Chain A
């Protein structure tokens, strides 16, 4: 059955059905009563979009913490370490909260599977979280500085992986708007992570130390923007949910906040030292963090939309089949498994 316009509202019901014929015929495709082919994820946006954002914030913050330690920015280092530990703890809580059986979380640790990004990620985060905790604890108490240095170095090494694996997590699904973006999604996510971590540094550290955070945030904002642009350009019609509806709205909010935050952060050194500069820096930092979060929520909702509408599953697959020139009716003989060839004795 060919898909028709979505179910009409009450006012449209009163009109005759024939009047609903669109002037320009839409791209038609067949579906079963317009029902989705895929099952949309059962994940809650608060938990899983939040998980994507917090994982990025943590991973980026660990890099920022290492940079702060190397350049002697104590306050920034503390803020970044606290941010990393806080974010990863919250993200773990979100992951557990989203399980249908939270008490069985430890079942994640009964196997290690490279074919499951969630398994890889759970092990990664299980290693990262204690290190992040140590780094934060030693920074605030001042005890065991060598252990703190080692922990900070460890989190800086694992941080980029924590920030990028979540892109594989969502891309390794049949959800069209996620899977089709698998090449650029990790770059969108790591750019977003740098932007969020830099934003946190700008928000939390004194202006005298925030230059490092500013550079990271600006680089991240540009990277996220470029990667996202490239991704949606390549995806064709599957990129629609990133431009329309709930996903599109979040993406646009993210773009506006990112542009405002980046402009504010870039101009902040020109603001007179003192309260005014502190306010500009903090507001810019908050905007950059908000931009990163909005992007994650946008990606999450775009994926949900693309899974719920059979169009995004059927049309690209049908085009793929047509390009391959596959006859619509399989020749029956092609389906019979051929016996293995027996080489001459």
Chain B
């Protein structure tokens, strides 16, 4: 027997519990080629029958969607910066406005806090390694919402249940790519096996660095980060927080064993405290009895 035969081990995302596991699928969103057309937002809403959730004017550049939510599973951020930008014909920096555009989505974390804390098992890991809410099980407890380190999942108030991106689970089963990736005219949203996407993204970052775009960096591509790497990761041109993303997200359940230990110690302390205060009272009773007084 050679070492190769024993390579298959337990995967951190738990996908090997499926009898017929698929390669882990994900998104690579390359924001350097996003043109902010919002075709992804529209395609997602159309395909998934996501209801309208407000038609307001925010004044935030060209972003009236504001952020991800129960009825917004793709959100295109617009950031306006005063920054010298190189021009393609080599005429030098124009010193003008820089627009950053980025299509945000559920990260489909390797270690997904929403899935961990869900008390009904409504949130589950699919055979593609994605994270999906089973809407026929969800009872709207809302625990997943503050658990998510990215602020993705939310409760649809008129419906009472939690909703988020499914990475088009229904389309994946039919061998199709998710609606947003299909609609993206610049291939800013790329869909595929996660391993391939990570390789492609690393090449793209090098390419941008060589072209002088030193701010290019990958976000969520590192399997060693606080959530074990994202199934949907990004190429950003500025700090994550500029795009409304947390700079160093950590899955809250990483600390859960320690939390249970502290809670156990606190429960034992309460028991001890009660026993001690009862002993003090019993002693008082006994002394009171000896001295002939009441309690």
- 23 pairs across A/B with beta carbons < 8 Å? A30-B239, A36-B151, A39-B146, A40-B145, A42-B154, A43-B142, A99-B140, A104-B138, A116-B119, A118-B143, A119-B119, A160-B268, A164-B266, A167-B262, A168-B263, A171-B259, A179-B252, A182-B255, A182-B262, A183-B258, A212-B281, A318-B248, A345-B2
Q: CB of B40 within 8 A of chain A?
A: no
B118 contact from A64, A66, A116, A215, Cβ within 8 A: A116
Chain A interface, number of residues (Cβ within 8 angstroms):
100
Query: 7 closest A-B pairs (Cβ-Cβ)?
Result: A100-B140, A100-B160, A32-B244, A186-B266, A215-B277, A104-B139, A160-B267
Pair B242/A1 contact, Cβ less than 8 Å: yes
Q: State the Cβ distance, B12 to closest chain A Cβ, in Å.
A: 12
B265 contact from A179, A186, A223, A310, Cβ within 8 A: A186
- Chain A residues near B116 (CB, 8 Å)? 113, 115-116
- 4 other A-B residue contacts (CB within 8 Å) besides A37-B244, A99-B160, A182-B255: A71-B285, A113-B119, A167-B263, A186-B265
**Binary contact track B259-279/A, C-beta < 8 Å → 1, others 0:** 110111111111101111110
- Chain B residues near A186 (CB, 8 Å)? 259, 262-263, 265-267
- Chain B residues near A212 (CB, 8 Å)? 277-278, 281
Pair B150/A160 contact, Cβ less than 8 Å: no
- Chain B residues near A171 (CB, 8 Å)? 252, 255, 259
- Chain A residues near B155 (CB, 8 Å)? 42, 100
Complex Cα–Cα for A318 and B241 (A): 9
Given contacts A332-B206, A336-B199, contact A310 B139 (CB under 8 A): no
Q: State the Cβ distance, A230 to closest chain B Cβ, in Å.
A: 12
Pair A321/B263 contact, Cβ less than 8 Å: no
**Binary contact track A94-117/B, C-beta < 8 Å → 1, others 0:** 000011111011011011011111
Q: CB of A240 within 8 A of chain B?
A: no
Q: Which of A13-21, A83-91, A187-195, A286-294 contacts B (4 or more CB under 8 A)?
A: A187-195
Q: Which of B42-50, B170-178, B211-219 contacts A (4 or more CB under 8 A)?
A: B211-219
B139 contact from A37, A59, A99, A183, Cβ within 8 A: A99
Pair A107/B139 contact, Cβ less than 8 Å: yes
Q: CB of B168 within 8 A of chain A?
A: no
Closest Cβ neighbor of A170 among chain B residues: B146
Q: CB of B19 within 8 A of chain A?
A: no
Chain B interface, number of residues (Cβ within 8 angstroms):
101
Pair B151/A38 contact, Cβ less than 8 Å: yes
Given contacts A107-B122, A163-B267, A174-B252, contact A215 B195 (CB under 8 A): no
Q: CB of B198 within 8 A of chain A?
A: yes
Q: State the Cβ distance, A80 to closest chain B Cβ, in Å.
A: 11
B147 contact from A107, A164, A174, A329, Cβ within 8 A: A174
Pair B280/A40 contact, Cβ less than 8 Å: no
Pair B252/A32 contact, Cβ less than 8 Å: no
Which residues in B have some Cβ–Cβ distance to A below 8 Å?
A: 2-4, 7, 60, 63, 66-67, 69, 77, 79-81, 113, 116-122, 137-143, 145-155, 157, 159-162, 195, 198-199, 201-203, 205-206, 209, 214-218, 221-223, 239, 241-249, 252-253, 255-256, 258-260, 262-271, 273-278, 280-282, 284-285, 294-295
How many A-B pairs fall under 8 Å by CB?
306
- Chain B residues near A31 (CB, 8 Å)? 241-242, 244
Complex Cα–Cα for A56 and B214 (A): 54
Which residues in A have some Cβ–Cβ distance to B below 8 Å?
A: 1, 29-33, 35-43, 59-60, 63-64, 66-67, 70-71, 98-102, 104-105, 107-108, 110-111, 113-119, 122, 160-161, 163-165, 167-168, 171-175, 178-179, 182-187, 189-191, 193-194, 208-209, 211-212, 215-216, 218-220, 223, 273, 303, 307, 310, 313-314, 317-318, 320-321, 328-330, 332-337, 340, 342-343, 345
B255 contact from A179, A216, A313, Cβ within 8 A: A179
Given contacts A30-B241, A168-B263, contact A332 B120 (CB under 8 A): no
- Chain A residues near B239 (CB, 8 Å)? 30, 328
Complex Cα–Cα for A108 and B141 (A): 9
Complex Cα–Cα for A172 and B118 (A): 11
Complex Cα–Cα for A42 and B295 (A): 49
Pair A172/B270 contact, Cβ less than 8 Å: no
Complex Cα–Cα for A313 and B268 (A): 32
Q: Most chain-B CB neighbours within 10 Å: which of A115, A191, A342?
A: A115
Complex Cα–Cα for A46 and B14 (A): 38
Given contacts A39-B148, A183-B262, contact A219 B267 (CB under 8 A): no
Q: State the Cβ distance, A49 to closest chain B Cβ, in Å.
A: 14
- Chain A residues near B2 (CB, 8 Å)? 345
Q: State the Cβ distance, A10 to closest chain B Cβ, in Å.
A: 17
Pair B274/A64 contact, Cβ less than 8 Å: yes
Closest Cβ neighbor of B207 among chain A residues: A332
Pair B295/A215 contact, Cβ less than 8 Å: no
Q: State the Cβ distance, B221 to closest chain A Cβ, in Å.
A: 4
